[in-house]
Structure 1
């Protein structure tokens, strides 16, 4: 079937124009015009679709619809400069040449030599690499610094969607999402590097980027020995990503422990927005994050007796100042809905990687879509352990069932607090719950041998641990694009 430009869906017309012009340049059918009538005439880019012959239109559409991806990142430009093979629409300098009807012979040659393939019907060019704007920098799934681009401008990720698309490739694309003005955006890295093969031991060195779970540098829990409200004492090295947020009192300048969080990289802690903005600031200002804590009564190492009469001790706690608090911009502390109750804390220095301090993995799947029934999750912290004790000296944990929206919504709807897709529920068993003091802490799922943070403690019933009334948690999976966009080197 022969398609003419008038038959094309409107959003394909510009693609056909650009692809058609570029195809002619590649095939040496486009030459420099002059006053001489025996030269091939130049065509204005916008008039191209109306003035091309049928042959040229068919040629353009063949190039458009039988597209391929040869471009790789990085590349070397014709001028010998390091570049990146990207969509020509993302390369302002070369796009300006293509759009200019007065382009010179040298510029046409530059376009030809810069060509590195096609992707999604649009030419790819080797574009001189410049540092991306700070607000478009991000970290890839492998922990490399990248740029938040439209999906079609990232050939390495687009290539994963070539049919047949595997489940692993689709999952990789989903967790690579980031926030940008483009409708579908991914964190595009500088090369096509792959993580270590399964079974290959990785050397875990923390950076600002969340670790790639496939390296097993996150989510590994070394606890397993003496094992919140109704909770059990954890092993001394269990959940090494748990953190306490230290607040400096407004009136007495003393340090208070009001919220928790989870270390997700060497320099970022995930917590709740209500822990850094709103009424909490009437009690204190978040100033430090405490890592590697077990028993808050002691400032040095904490020790416990183990089987056989021995003693197991932690390293001394590590306290790192908070460089910046990053609440979600759409969180409203005055609203009853508690939507977007999520925040990041950027630490002033890199956290160490030890048996007692290591990050938890970000979620690799939407747990609410899991077809398994009776899923149980873990929540841990130093929050209330009974109606009379508002804080625990020891790190505690409790297992809770994942609850459906149908189980969760009625109670909160009666109180004019409708839930939305950015929240999940867990709990509803009498005497077992997260509670006051656990705010900002992680709701965790053990995915294989790695732990993932699937929720952030947000709010729940009063008193805690009421039967058939689950607590509400911010759903971390839905905020992966926001998290990856906020994290900076």
Structure 2
């Protein structure tokens, strides 16, 4: 946690042009009152203390105890500071909370920007553990073994609204599932470490933060793209949707990701973009990860990727994306169906979109020079919207 060292200076800060965006609930150090984590220039009381020429020791301590993080998507030290702002320290009308409008709660409507795609965490390149609240749209698909009824995680997915999960078609129908006697049973949301419930982490200031218990919800309906052929080597149209038996409420740890609906995204090949991947799939020791992992991969030129896979008689088209190809940085077994995520800056806020869906890749995973193949979400947004129902 950054210690404020700017209190002796007079700082002229520009107030935000728009309403404040929250980065979750919080409690200032030494306080029992709950607040919200926001940029300091959206918390009038704490901003006033920071700008004051004469700051008493008590107020200096209050400011230090109120810090809740840094927003590294912004430039300038002061603009990055996040503070835990109490209701008495801000104007209520200036706050955008995580509560969802009635329309956003309907299964046939995609959430608005700001409700979807929002998280707060520093992103680090390479396969490392995520932070507790990172990528809150990530879900695990839980399967039941016919032979003994045991439950096992075999795929991932992404929450796209309060009722639907986006995943890969091969996570819903494949020879591998049939061979192993696996039937999709439920979806797990709000998970971080599969060995613990609830999940807790110790912050740098020594404080323990715990997420709510994860949630398991059974599946109401499986929807596989009509043109998907499970046994095809090319895996075209590898996309599916899961309708949950009940709606979920959004929290700091369960939120939907945005879909690339606008033309600027539909027509973007994203070549050379750096994108995030995440999941609980196999790591380099060939065992599933208990904790949610993340890595950053670069999108390939499609023609170059087509040439690469053509040597194995595999054909790609513009409904697919290729990304990765660096040694030991890749999605792997168990990550199928998870999103390939692109962060886009919207109104000075980083919004995450599901640019792709993990489809297939080289064996073993993470081979140098061999990218993974992803279903291009933008090619199927009309199909997705047509399948949603209230």
Whether TM-score is above 0.5 comes out as yes
Aligned residue for 1:406?
A: 303
8 Å CA contact retained: 1:208, 1:267: yes
- Structure 1: state its 5+ residue gaps: 1-198
Determine if the alignment matches structure 1 residue 378 to structure 2 residue 276: yes
How far residue 213 of structure 1 moved from its aligned partner, in angstroms, is 3.5
Distance 2:366 2:146 in 1: 31
Equivalenced residue count is: 286
Question: Structure 1 segments of 4 or more deviating over 3 A?
Answer: 199-203, 209-214, 364-374
- Taking CA–CA contacts closer than 8 Å with sequence separation of 6 or more, which of the two structures ends up with the larger relative contact order? 2
- Change in CA separation of 1:306 and 1:260 when aligned onto 2, cut-off 3 Å: same
The 1-side partners of 2:360 and 2:133 are apart by: 27
Contact 2:278 2:293 (8 Å CA) reproduced? yes
Paired position in structure 1 for 2:376 = 475
Structure 2 residue corresponding to 1:222, chosen from 108, 115, 120: 120
Structure 2 residue corresponding to 1:434, chosen from 316, 324, 331: 331
- Change over 3 Å in CA distance of 1:244–1:372 after alignment to 2: closer
Matched, 1:270 2:166: yes
CA distance in 2, matches of 1:338, 1:356: 32
Rounded to whole Å, the distance in 2 between the matches of 1:373 and 1:412 is 17
Give the match for residue 350 of structure 1: 247
* Structure 1 residues 369 and 233: alpha-carbon distance in aligned structure 2, compared to 1, 3 A threshold: same
| 2:156 pairs with 1:260 | yes
**Cα offset for 1:276?**
0.5
Q: More deviation in 373-382 or 253-262?
A: 373-382
Corresponding residue number in structure 2 for 1:168: none
Distance 2:301 2:245 in 1: 39
Partner of 1:244: 140
Determine if the alignment matches structure 1 residue 326 to structure 2 residue 326: no
In the aligned structure 1, how far is the partner of 2:360 from the partner of 2:331? 9
* CA–CA separation in structure 2 for the residues paired with 1:445 and 1:223: 15
Secondary structure of 2:299's match? strand
Residue 69 (structure 2) aligns with: none
Higher helix residue share: 1
TM-score (norm 1): 0.56
Please name the residue that 2:256 is paired with: 359
Q: Distance in 1 between matches of 2:270 and 2:366?
A: 24
Q: Normalised by the size of structure 2, how large is the TM-score?
A: 0.70
Structure 1 distance, partners of 2:120, 2:378, is 25
Query: Which secondary structure state, in structure 2, belongs to the residue aligned with residue 213 of structure 1?
Result: coil
Question: Given the alignment of the two structures, is residue 487 of structure 1 paired with residue 388 of structure 2, yes or no?
Answer: yes
In the TM superposition, residue 370 of structure 1 has moved relative to its aligned partner by 4.3
**What is the root-mean-square deviation in Å for CA atoms of aligned residues?**
2.0
CA distance in structure 2 between the aligned counterparts of 1:366 and 1:419, rounded to whole angstroms? 23
Provide structure 2 residue ranges, at least 5 long, that are not aligned to the other structure: 1-93
